[in-house]
Every structure is written in C-alpha cells, then in structure tokens.
Amino acid sequence: MRKRNESVALVPTMGALHAGHLALVDCARTLADRIIVTIFVNPKQFSAGEDFDAYPRDIAGDAEKLRAAGADLVWIPDADLIYPPGYATSVRVARLSETLCGPVRPGHFAGVATIITKLFALIRPDIAVFGEKDWQQLAIIRRLNTDLNLGVEIIGCPIMREADGLALSSRNAYLSADERVAAATLPKALALAAQAIRAGDDVAQALEQARTKLAQAGFGPIDYLELADEETLAPLSANAPRARLFAAAYLGRTRLIDNLEV
C-alpha cells in the first residue's frame, strides 16, 4: 500500500462486530484508499474482575463481515506479539483519564492509550476511525495523538443506535430479553435531560430526574450521569457550547455507556 502511495485508514476493534463497527468501515472507505481493521481483545484495558474471559469473540464471523464491508486487510495479533516477555511500557493520559469511567475502571484508559499508541506505531495509518459511543476514549486518543506528535488524523463517527435508541455495543449481547427492553430507558433519559437543560432548567435537577428514571427501570448501580465539556471532560453546572451528557450504569451484569450532545 505504501509503495503505491495509497492512503491508509485504521479501524481498531476488539471484535464481536456489529453494525456500528461496520459503519466505521464505511466511514473509513470515504476517507482513504485502503482500510485496515484490527481485532484485538486488549487484556490491559480490562480491570480486575471485569469480563475479559467472557468478552464475546467471533473471529470467523467478524472476518466475513469485514470482507463483505470492503476492508482491505484484517490483522488479528496474539497478545504475546503485542506484549512480548519483558514488556514494561505504558501510556497514560492525565486528567482526561481521571474522570467519568476513570475512577471506576482503574487502569482501563492506560490500556487503551497504550494499545492505540502501539497500533499507530506498527501500522502508521494516515487516518484512524473511532465511534463516538465511548466519547471519553475518543477524547483521550485525540489528546495522546496531539501530545505525542503521532500525526494521525482522528475521525469520530456518530453513534449507531437501535430503533428504540439503544446504542449498539458488543456487550448488548449480555442483556436478557427483559433487560433489553429496559435498556432503552438510558438514551431516553439522556434525551429528556438534554431537552430540559437546553430549555434552561436547573442542571442538577435534570440529572437527578434522569437518575430516577434509570433506577425505576432497574438500572443500578449508576456509575455516573453527568454534564461535562466534551473536550476537557470537566464537569459543568450549566449549559455551555461544548456541553455533553455522559452516563454509565449497570443493568443486571451488563455495564452500558452512552452520551448525548446538549
């Protein structure tokens, strides 16, 4: 690809691909000559007690989906290749990693920052495409790309949602039938809170009403439901030009995240 002076877009994934991932491939196709997709369930971004072993894996199915979607190359490295014996380096992005998911998932974003830095170094893409569902992750990757002068153009693609508004996620497969119905309360609660905040209602009251709706639907614990600046992730007590709602909460054993521009 390089010898032919073709531009390369990278789509990093952990597999268990759904329509949201394939939308990233579609987006990448409009931006570059060639598309490389990586599938790597990164052990360093799972905290102790999280679902690394149970995380859904379907390599054959994923490869077929990517072939049909028009990916040019799929790379599925072994953990020993990415983290060989004696590996001792970690990348950490301060401040952005210390809010929202950071306190409840210690080490998670260092794992994300480390693997993305390694993939950028190994593949040297011109462009990298990420979904906006994990907005905090996207903000961290943008920061590290700037801070380390990696020179990759970072593209965020809009959240893909089901008909009832639930954001697509590989972890949605964990939901029971009843939980799947209740899960739609999350985007609806965020939408109502955003509407109230835009109308000038008190932010704290709007957030509390959203938390109540989630609790009534069976969510718990609620890790956070906050209004924050979408670039710095600093909490906001009033509406502002870059205001965005962020939420993470458990429904049964499944942890769901979502965000919505205000």
Which residues belong to the active site? Answer: 21
What is each CA distance from 235 to 3, 10, 137, in whole angstroms? 47, 31, 16
What is each CA distance from 35 to 3, 26, 54, 179, 241, in whole angstroms? 15, 10, 28, 36, 34
Alpha-carbon distance 38 to 12, whole Å? 5
**Are the beta carbons of 55 and 41 closer than 8 angstroms?**
yes
Instruction: Kindly state the helix (H) or strand (E) to which residue 102 belongs, with its residue range.
Output: none
Alpha-carbon distance 100 to 133, whole Å? 14
